[in-house]
Amino acid sequence: MSHPSSPLRTRIFRWSAPILAAPLAGCNWVVMNPSGDIAVQQRDLILISTALMLLIVIPVMAMVVWFAWRYRAANKAAEQDYDPDWDHSTKLELLIWSAPLLIIICLGALTWVSTHKLDPYRPLDRIDARTAVDPRVKPLAVQVVALDWKWLFIYPDLGIATVNELAVPTNVPVRFDITASTVMNSFYIPELAGQIYAMPGMKTQLHAVANKPVGGVGFSANYSGAGFTHMRFGYKAMDKAGFDAWVAKVKADGADLDRAHYLTLAKPSEKAPVAYYSAVEPRLFDAVVNLCPRPGQRCMGELMHVNMMGGAGKESARETQGLKYDFPDSHVIDQAERNEGVQTAPDAPGATETPPDHSSHSGADAHAQHR
């Protein structure tokens, strides 16, 4: 005999199922179905770790339900098992502690091996599970600069650069050298590998390889300001012929990227369009890492060498112009540009001019002024 409310429950389920399934239908499971070998190994690590933990979680959850049912108040037969003097069971203690301990040992060993094997600074030793890296093949170098709020990709060996578009050849190791212009960011391509931070004044690395032609999206995984939401770029993995054609297109359609163009590009902007550069000033990336792309600034590498040699003498106390890395006169934006649109015309009724902000000198500048 069917329950009177069965048709109603059927209709509710029929109406609600599409609504409940809609969010999952729009999900992109790229993390669980990547196209790069490093991302595949990271996915496998997630799955294996989850399975090991479920060996404890599932039995515990099942036993909670079983105990609640077994010893419910209505089950009078369970009263025969009542033992008020029971306080210890060696067999039960061994079961309770040995199983989690073995799983923790397995997880620890797995994490130890994977942490070293998937170290982003470690050069690749394989293209995929069946193919080792040919030692004669030179990795493709890509220099990545996180700007506000866009991505700059420099191909030093090819002499080209792009904005908000990254292309790599399939089955070729790629070495990313990553930095940021102003604030910390995070470089992430789910198709290719895990995320790694981009930090101003520092260079991080990521080694990865794409195993099949695919198009995807990369983005910033670390909040960095107002334009963070749109800090995305197109990612393309192509076969050799497709990549060579893409490089030829960039060289044909691009402009020149020198320091003056870089300083203009580095100014904050949102939803920046894709741009190509057919020529790049040599050592531009090194200047960005050393916080000295603006003419007249002293590079951090030079200052560290001076400090290593014992300092530059008392005369250096007055040489502060090249030591200003934060506002004002930063390596990217002038204070006047930062205050643009904030100052009110002095001749307007009740107008006051916003004074320049001198509270954000770099440590090197402040130290020099103090001396």
Measure the CA–CA gap between 11 and 27, rounded to whole angstroms: 26
pLDDT band (50, 70, 90) for residue 345:
very low
C-beta atoms surrounding 209 within 10 Å: 27
Q: How much is the pLDDT for 318? A: 64
Residues 198-227, mean pLDDT to the nearest whole number: 90
CA-based nearest residue to 289, from 277, 299, 279, 302: 299
Residues 175-197, mean pLDDT to the nearest whole number: 92
Residue 145 pLDDT exceeds 70: yes
The whole-model pTM stands at 0.74
Q: Which of 56-70, 165-179, 262-276, 293-307 has the highest mean pLDDT?
A: 165-179
Beta bridge partners of 220: 187
Q: How much is the pLDDT for 30? A: 76
Q: Provide, rounded to the nearest whole percent, the portion of the chain with pLDDT above 70.
A: 75
Give the model confidence (pLDDT) of 68-89 as tens digits: 888 887 887 766 777 777 778 8
CA-based nearest residue to 312, from 299, 303, 322, 325: 303
Residue 272 pLDDT exceeds 50: yes
Element (H, E) at 152: strand 150-155
247 contacts 204 by C-beta, under 8 angstroms: no
Residues 314-335, mean pLDDT to the nearest whole number: 58
Q: How much is the pLDDT for 367? A: 38
Q: How much is the pLDDT for 304? A: 78
Q: Provide, rounded to the nearest whole percent, the portion of the chain with pLDDT above 90.
A: 36
Domains of the chain: 28-64+91-118 (no CATH), 128-289 (2.60.40.420), 300-370 (no CATH)
Q: What is the mean pLDDT of the chain?
A: 79
Measure the CA–CA gap between 119 and 178, rounded to whole angstroms: 15
To the nearest 10 degrees (0 to 180), the angle between helices 90-117 and 37-70 is: 160
Residues 117-124, mean pLDDT to the nearest whole number: 91
Residues 137-143, mean pLDDT to the nearest whole number: 92
Measure the CA–CA gap between 205 and 175, rounded to whole angstroms: 7
Q: How much is the pLDDT for 65? A: 92
Residue 143 pLDDT exceeds 90: yes
